[in-house]
Chain A
């Protein structure tokens, strides 16, 4: 397949996302299994770079840039899985992550200013319960959202997400209102304090890699292939005997699990959770991160997250710190307007332009 064809197929994919109906015949290619495909040099280089990152970076870079990008990337990965492979764009992924974060704070230990809502369960039980409940919530949101298609889904998931935000804001008996929960700390395990920048970085790196490989595996597994078939042509898959709704809800559950893990890591990273953590801007930021990187490969959200965090951290040097939203909004607009496949799409386009016709794009 030539690069131009590939791009056309991807663009058609975006159109398909939108209309819920295929424009062209589905162009699903099943590549060799992820673990069967050879490990290229770039994989080794990137992995080595990530593993060695804390050795030459300052703790600030390790923690603020490294850990934060990876944790945000993990949450955005759940959206990439849903949107890129399931054809369903959900804006409620940060809500699922937020539910996990809130549950860690409520069930486990935290310190809020004047109330003591936290139940003080052992951390492993709180985290386990948080991940399970948040995954269930993700599946429930999916069950609601898959009743409609395409563009409606964005509206419904956004409505659910914003409703949860207002619930957290208004409710004091469970969610502690505007203040939320402070000092939600990563635990001390094996005598190591996992909130230490370097250790925390490796913790997040481990789970990000796990999430990445999990998605990589899943999209070549029968479930993932069926899901992509449903994305391309739900009616045909239905005729083939696949339960379309069940696959879609299951995809939401999987995405919920990934987002929940990301949410736990995020609450440990921030050390606190407030309604703002699940506010509209964060719901949308997850979409921005996923789209910025590109929805067509599970590495996309991590690239998007790195760019996002770098912009967030260093926008202060470019222009006023307060104007971060303007910068990120403009970047997002530019990407959506000029390169709908995100930075990965931009990279692919550049590669095509400057590569000799010999290789082409695979």
Chain B
């Protein structure tokens, strides 16, 4: 692209956005900032779920289309654990562990035997998602399961300038998302296993040649990725609700997040999650029946200018 084109398209993108921001703040500042917060907290949930998706994809080139089912599974498990014990943190742990276990099982029992057959793996995940979704519908039913926030996060947070009050739980999601992002970054960049995973992303064959048990690395990654989906499920069980169909919604979100942000990159997932979360909530607040169009336009724009995502690199 020439310099002129860059400026032209940059301006064409930034100008309407600026106009919208100025108009939004001037028209109804409270609505504008609450929507912004809603968008960021939703982005936090999207990031937690999508980072697992992108982790698995980055290392194994496995598009896990059962990721949404794992999210729903984690949410249900969290709901029932919270109902039994009455505590939120064990529910989070249980959601993570059960989803991680199922993911581990999938990797060890199935995907290990079709290494490198990307399309077949994807189809298997499609089949698995149908079966898992139907089993959950069978055993749990189609009723809405919504968890209440734990006592220490219940109720609103008061006396914030401009927006006066905001849900404590949703506010807490913001630091949680950031914390998980930082932890994931530290894990990938500062630990030995993380180093192996990154090496595997770059060159699987070479990693195996250096004597690393690649299958173990793969299994670990798959478990963590699936676990993050389950963890996100427990969070989503409070923020949204658990009902058949939510799995597809979060799968779509994960797909768009990694397509927009760049596949296989955790920072890209964070960026994509913020873009998607904010765009979706603003769409819902300002143009309810067309909100998904904004998501679609973003997808088209990114694919038109950066086919591999904003932070994506050539495979």
Contact = CB atoms under 8 A, between A and B. Distances in A.
A291 interface: yes
A336 interface: yes
B89 interface: no
Interface residues of B, number: 44
Interface stretch (A107-115, A163-171, A249-257, A349-357): A163-171
Interface string A145-183: 001101110111011101100110011110000000000
Contacts, number: 122
Interface stretch (A73-81, A199-207, A217-225, A325-333): A325-333
Nearest to B256: A159
Contacts of A284: 126, 130
B292 A167 contact: yes
A91 to B, nearest CB: 9
A132 to B, nearest CB: 21
A152 B255 contact: no
A154 B63 contact: yes
Most buried by B among A155, A156, A287, A340: A155
B61 A151 contact: yes
A315 B259 CA distance: 38
B163 to A, nearest CB: 26
A280 interface: yes
A3 B304 CA distance: 44
A106 interface: no
A326 B292 contact: no
Interface stretch (A12-20, A63-71, A119-127): A12-20
B279 to A, nearest CB: 12
A15 B117 contact: yes
A14 B300 CA distance: 28
A330 B289 CA distance: 36
A170 B291 contact: yes
A24 interface: no
Given A159-B259, A163-B252, A291 B135 contact: no
Contacts of A323: 134, 138
B158 interface: no
B142 to A, nearest CB: 10
Contacts of A82: none
A163 B130 contact: no
A17 B299 CA distance: 24
Contacts of A51: none
Interface in B48-65: 61, 63, 65
A323 B135 CA distance: 9
A213 interface: no
B116 A15 contact: yes
B119 A151 contact: yes
B289 A172 contact: yes
Nearest to A158: B255
Given A332-B127, A336-B124, A336-B127, A166 B292 contact: yes
A148 B118 contact: no
Contact of A333 (B118, B128, B251): B128
Most buried by B among A15, A151, A337: A151
A167 B295 CA distance: 10
Interface in B265-311: 288-293, 295-296, 299-300, 303-304, 307-308
Interface in B120-164: 120, 122-124, 126-128, 130-131, 133-135, 137-138
A50 interface: no
Nearest to A23: B116
Contacts of B299: 144, 156, 159-160, 163
B263 interface: yes
B123 A291 contact: yes
A206 to B, nearest CB: 32
Contact of B303 (A15, A147, A173): A147
Nearest to B296: A163
A51 B265 CA distance: 55
B130 A328 contact: yes
A104 interface: no
A162 B248 contact: yes
A340 B63 CA distance: 18
A19 B118 contact: yes
Contact of A151 (B63, B290, B303, B307): B63
A17 B121 CA distance: 12
Contact of B126 (A148, A322, A332): A332
Contacts of A163: 252, 292, 295-296, 299
4 smallest beta-carbon distances between A and B, as pairs: A329-B130, A18-B118, A333-B127, A18-B119
14 contacts: A15-B117, A17-B119, A147-B303, A151-B63, A156-B303, A159-B252, A160-B296, A162-B248, A163-B252, A325-B130, A326-B131, A326-B134, A329-B127, A337-B124
Interface of B: 61, 63, 65, 110, 116-120, 122-124, 126-128, 130-131, 133-135, 137-138, 248, 251-252, 255-256, 258-259, 263, 288-293, 295-296, 299-300, 303-304, 307-308
